[in-house]
């Protein structure tokens, strides 16, 4: 193994890492530990070209020491504490950053630990079939001559980022910052289909609101929750990019790379503004929906009240005519009794009197009900 001559590589970290190469023939300590399948890909780049594809972490460390001015990009998928421990020992990673990378479930952030940047990013993917936004998480350790990516979900697709960079050696030759930029660009570009999906859902909700869909309130609530979660992924990322921009002059970042990062920041700003508008729009839609629901309830109550009043009038009419018809029936029933000792039975004027009495009672009742507007 030849000694590696170290040339200072300046980065956003502002530090120069000098790794002491292993003595020729001396085995690396990490070789005693079997690498897990969590290492998705590992590559050594020199001047933007891929010069080696180590199969294990031990081979990666050895190859990085053998090549001059090399950059290692190690991609991991849900590594365990032991595997990250090996990387922490080799690259002097801070224990707090390693702990965050293992636990995950972090908000986007940027932290500096001596010569290493620790970056947490959240990717987003819109699932049209379920009308939901799925979120992924990736952690990056960016040093002067290495980048370690730790994914805790299927997205983002870093293999596509790697292919893009390898097809552009001039960009990749800018060092670890170029890898960080490419990942940032990929994640922010992935936000655009999510914005389009949310916008389409909001358009559908507006139609449902004015179409009196009873399930629209639930959908508004669920979509608002998706938008809030999306804000938690995008808004802190703006702070990450601002902090990176603040270090351009101090750490001598390449001017072309500065333009690329500013372009990513511009795209992210547009996304944030659109998402903020979505949240306000959903709030307004919810207000409009509540108003329309209240109006429909008022109309239903009015219709019920009118039906009740009309029913009351019908009951009054029926009751009035029932009373009018009941009076003659009562008189006729009394005079229709077949008792022997009833003085009216042998009265000559009894029949005309009964008829007149029935007519008078009926007319009197009709006049009373008419006066009270029951009929």
Stretch 68-82: mean pLDDT: 89
- Higher per-residue confidence, 22 vs 172: 172
Strand runs (DSSP E) across the chain, as ranges? 39-46, 49-52, 70-77, 109-113, 116-127, 132-143, 146-151
**Contact present, 51 and 95 (Cβ < 8 Å):** no
User: How far are the Cα atoms of 43, 118, 181, 244 from residue 249, in angstroms, in the given order?
Assistant: 29, 20, 17, 10
Q: Is the pLDDT of residue 70 over 80?
A: yes
| pLDDT tens track for 312-322 | 877 888 888 88
Q: How many CA atoms lie within 13 A of 89 on its CB side?
A: 12
The two structure tokens encoding residue 149 = 């990516």
**Is the per-residue pLDDT at 20 higher than 70?**
no
* For residue 127, pLDDT beyond 90: no
Fold category of 29-293 in CATH = Beta Polymerase; domain 2 (3.30.460)
pTM above 0.75, yes or no: no
Structural domain boundaries in the chain? 29-293, 312-371
Nearest CA-CA partner of 141 in 161, 162, 124, 121: 121
Instruction: For residues 138 and 225, give the distance between their C-alpha atoms in angstroms, rounded to a whole number.
Output: 22
Residues, the chain: 375
């Amino acid at each position: 193994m030849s000694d590696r001559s170290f040339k200072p590589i300046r980065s956003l970290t502002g530090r120069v890492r000098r790794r002491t190469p292993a003595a020729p023939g001396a085995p690396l300590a990490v070789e005693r530990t079997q690498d897990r399948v969590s290492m998705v890909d590992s590559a050594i780049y020199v001047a933007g070209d891929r010069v080696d594809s180590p199969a294990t972490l031990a081979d990666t460390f050895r190859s990085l020491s053998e090549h001059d001015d090399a950059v290692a990009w190690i991609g991991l998928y849900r590594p365990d504490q032991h595997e990250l421990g090996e990387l922490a020992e080799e690259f002097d990673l801070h224990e707090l950053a390693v702990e965050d990378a293992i636990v995950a479930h972090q908000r986007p952030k940027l932290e500096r630990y001596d010569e290493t940047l620790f970056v947490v990013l959240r990717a987003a993917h819109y699932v049209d079939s379920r009308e939901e936004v799925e979120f992924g998480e990736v952690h990056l350790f960016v040093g002067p001559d290495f980048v370690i990516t730790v994914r805790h979900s299927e997205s983002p697709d870093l293999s596509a980022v790697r292919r893009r960079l390898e097809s552009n050696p001039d960009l990749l030759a800018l060092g670890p910052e170029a890898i960080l930029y490419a990942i940032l660009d990929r994640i922010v570009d992935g936000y655009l289909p999510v914005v389009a999906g949310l916008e389409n859902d909001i358009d559908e909700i507006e139609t449902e609101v004015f179409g009196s869909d009873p399930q629209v309130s639930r959908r508004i609530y669920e979509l608002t929750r998706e938008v809030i979660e999306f804000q938690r992924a995008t808004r802190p990322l703006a702070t990450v990019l601002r902090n990176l921009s603040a270090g351009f002059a101090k750490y001598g970042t390449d001017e072309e790379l500065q333009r690329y990062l500013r372009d990513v920041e511009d795209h992210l700003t547009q996304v944030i503004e659109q998402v903020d508008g979505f949240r306000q729009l959903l709030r307004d839609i919810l207000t409009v929906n509540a108003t329309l629901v209240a109006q429909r309830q008022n109309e239903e109550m009015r219709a019920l009240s009118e039906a009740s009043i009309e029913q009351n009038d019908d009951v009054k009419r029926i009751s009035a005519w029932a009373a009018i018809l009941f009076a003659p029936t009562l008189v006729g029933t009394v005079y229709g009794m077949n008792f022997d000792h009833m003085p009216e039975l042998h009265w000559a004027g009894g029949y005309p009197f009964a008829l007149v009495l029935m007519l008078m009672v009926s007319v009197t009742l009709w006049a009373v009900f008419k006066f009270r507007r029951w009929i």
